[in-house]
Structures are given as C-alpha cells and as structure tokens.
Amino acid sequence: MKRLRTRQSASVALSYGAGRRKYLYVLPYECKRGKWRFACVQAATPPPDPDAAESLCACAMADDRVCLVLTDASHAIRSVSSRVPGAFGYTSESLVGMNLSDVFSEADMSVITHCSPDTNESIQSIIFQCLDGSRRDVEIKKFSAPDHFLLYGIFDNSPPKFNEELAEAGTRERRRIGQDLHDSIGQLMTGISLLSRSLANNFKRECNPGAADAMQVSDLAATRSAGFHAV
C-alpha cells in the first residue's frame, strides 16, 4: 500500500474463492478526500507453479518495452506505470502532467482518439516522440476506465537491431559529411594561399605597399591548409 500512496504502480495477487488468485497490475491515479482511485489490469494468468506466480506477475507488465498510461478525457496524463521503456527517455514522474499530444503527432492523436476502447485491438504504426527527439514505432491498446478516464498500454516495438543499424548509418553519414567539409576547406585554403602569393608578387613588381599584407595572407592560408591535411 505504501507504493500505491506514492502513485507508484504495483503488481498484486488478489485471492478469491477456494484458493483462487488473480494477478493484477494496479495504477493509482487520483486521490479525493483522502481516498485513492485505481485502474486495475489483469497482468498475467496464474502459472502452474504457485511459488513463481507473483514474481512472474511482477515481470509481466514491467517489461522494459511496455508501459501503462492513464489519461483524463482531455488526454492529460494523470498516472504512469513505474517502468517506462528506456528508449523513450522519460520517467514515469516526468510524464505525469504532460498531454498525449506532447508525445504523439496531431495525425497519430486523431487515429488514437477515433479508435474505440475495450476492443482489445492494437492501434498500429503509431510514432512515439522521445525526449531526445528520436522516434519510436509503438503499438497501443486502449481501455476505458471510471470517470471518463482512458488507460493506454504502450508497447515499444521498434526492432533493436534496426535502431542500432540506423544509429550506425547516421554516424557514418556524419563522418562522410565531416570529411567532405574537411577536404573542401583544405582545398579552399590552398587556393587562397596561391592567389595571395601571386598577388603579393604582382604588388612587389609594382612597388605596391600591399605586397607585405598579401604575403602575410598567403602564409597564414598555407599554414591552415597544412594543418587540415595533417588531420
């Protein structure tokens, strides 16, 4: 109960009947007049081994790629499961108080809003906008809760290997662009050096006082060019 009073989600075993149990995931979302309201989802069916039941239940909805989000009718986030997929970049505490529209695009919000709850049908091809600006492909299930609240199960189904390959491709592209810039600037400095030296020689023949300045520009550009080629 201590976890529930601090808005932390919890897995619990509910005993009923002749030794029967249901394993629930409990998400506190509102406290009125000292009394809490909770959203409950059956997290797992009881496994054959009773001793392992509670530990399996605790893991069922606490997977690193799954979280539960409870919102009011205006899509304001009122409560979040204690575990949030790490790739999202958010903690459960930081998500509370935000709006679903902060993490989903307008087009995706339209899809989510128009999907009926409690059908157990997954809402596919939705993009979650992560804290670091990256995007994750997620699958959503939508359920109704008391007082016009809605409970969303959000599953991060972006393939880990694909994300690693995407990050590696981005790194390669940044390196290529950096090398292109490096080569271009090096060539530019070499050109400036040659043109400045030619200008300095012309100034010398004409006894123009600008010869010294032109030679200084040529030497500086040559030094910079040599530095670029050395890298």
Boundary residue ending a domain (158, 173, 206): 158
Q: What is the pLDDT of residues 145-154, one digit of tens each?
A: 777 888 888 8
Q: Which residues of 121-159 are buried (b: 16+ CB within 10 A; e: fewer)?
A: ebbeebebbbeeeeebbbebbbbebeeebbbbbbebebe
For the ranges 88-97, 103-112, 163-172, the maximum mean pLDDT occurs at 103-112
**Quick one: CA dihedral 143, 75, 148, 78, positive or negative?**
positive
Residues 210 and 111 in one domain: no
In which band, very low, low, confident or very high, does the pLDDT at 111 lie, cut at 50, 70 and 90? very high
Q: What is the pLDDT of residues 193-205, one digit of tens each?
A: 888 888 888 888 8
Residues 149 and 190 in one domain: no
Q: How far, in Å, are 85, 144, 223 from residue 153 at the CA level?
A: 12, 12, 61
**By residue range, what is the domain housing residue 187?**
163-230
Is the pLDDT score of 144 beyond 60?
yes
Boundary residue ending a domain (158, 191, 215): 158
Boundary residue ending a domain (132, 158, 184): 158
- Looking up residue 42, the CATH number of its domain turns out to be 3.30.450.20
Q: Is the pTM of this model over 0.85?
A: no
Q: Which residue has the tokens 């809605």?
A: 150
Residues 177 and 152 in one domain: no
Residues 35 and 93 in one domain: yes
